[in-house]
Amino acid sequence: MTEHSAFKEQALVAARAIDEKKGTDIVIQDVSDLLNVTDYFVICTAANNRRVDAIAEEVEEQLFKDFGIKPVSIEGLDESEWVLMDYGPIVVHIFQPGPRDYYRLEQLWDAAPTVDVALAGIEDPVYTERIARLLERAEGASQDTVDED
C-alpha cells in the first residue's frame, strides 16, 4: 500500500465515523496535487453544536483505533460552528449549515477530485441540493477525463 493510499483509507474511516454520527453532505477531496500541506479534505455538515462535538469525538476515536493516529491540532471546539481536525495528511472539517454555506470550502478546491463515499461503506449519503450538484459536476469532469484517455 502506498503512502497516499494509506491516507485515502484514513479519509474513508473519517467519513464512515462522520456518517455513523449522522453527519451529512460528506465530501472527500483529494487535494494532494493542489496543496503541499495535506492530501485529503473530509468535509461534512452537522446539524448543531452537540452533533459537531459527537462527530469530532467519533472521528478522533476511530482514527486512533484503526491507525493509532491523533490529530496534530483541533480548532473550533469552543464554538462548534466549524471544527478543523488536522491529522497532517488528512484534514477533517465539520461545519454547521450556516458556516458551510458561507465558506463553501469544497468549491474553493473544486479542481480537486472527489472520492466516492461508497468506498467508506456509506450506502445512502444525505446531500443538500447544492452539494449534490457539486458532486455531479465533479463526477462529470472526471468522466470527461476518462473519456479523453
Q: Strand pairing of 90-95 and 40-45?
A: parallel
d(CA 136, CA 110) in angstroms, rounded, equals 12
How many angstroms separate the Cα of 126 from the Cα of each of 14, 26, 67, 74, 99?
A: 16, 8, 27, 25, 18
- pLDDT for 142 equals 62
- pLDDT for 121 equals 94
Interior angle at CA 66, CA 65 and CA 72, nearest 5: 75
Instruction: Output 1 or 110, whichever has higher pLDDT.
Output: 110
- pLDDT for 130 equals 87
The per-residue pLDDT for range 87-109, each reduced to its tens digit, is: 999 999 999 999 999 999 999 99
Domain range 3-148, CATH class: alpha beta
Instruction: Output 113 or 140, whichever has higher pLDDT.
Output: 113
**Would you kindly state where each structural domain of the chain is located, as residue ranges?**
3-148
Q: What is the mean pLDDT of the chain?
A: 92
Report residue 88 as a C-alpha cell. 497532517
Helices (H) and strands (E) in the chain, counts: 5, 6
- pLDDT for 146 equals 41
Residue 83 belongs to what H/E stretch? strand 82-86
Place of cell 461503506: 121
The per-residue pLDDT for range 16-74, each reduced to its tens digit, is: 999 999 999 999 999 999 999 999 999 999 999 999 999 999 999 999 999 999 999 99
What mean pLDDT comes out for the span 119-136? 90
How many angstroms separate the Cα of 139 from the Cα of each of 31, 132, 133?
A: 16, 10, 10
- pLDDT for 147 equals 44
d(CA 26, CA 111) in angstroms, rounded, equals 17
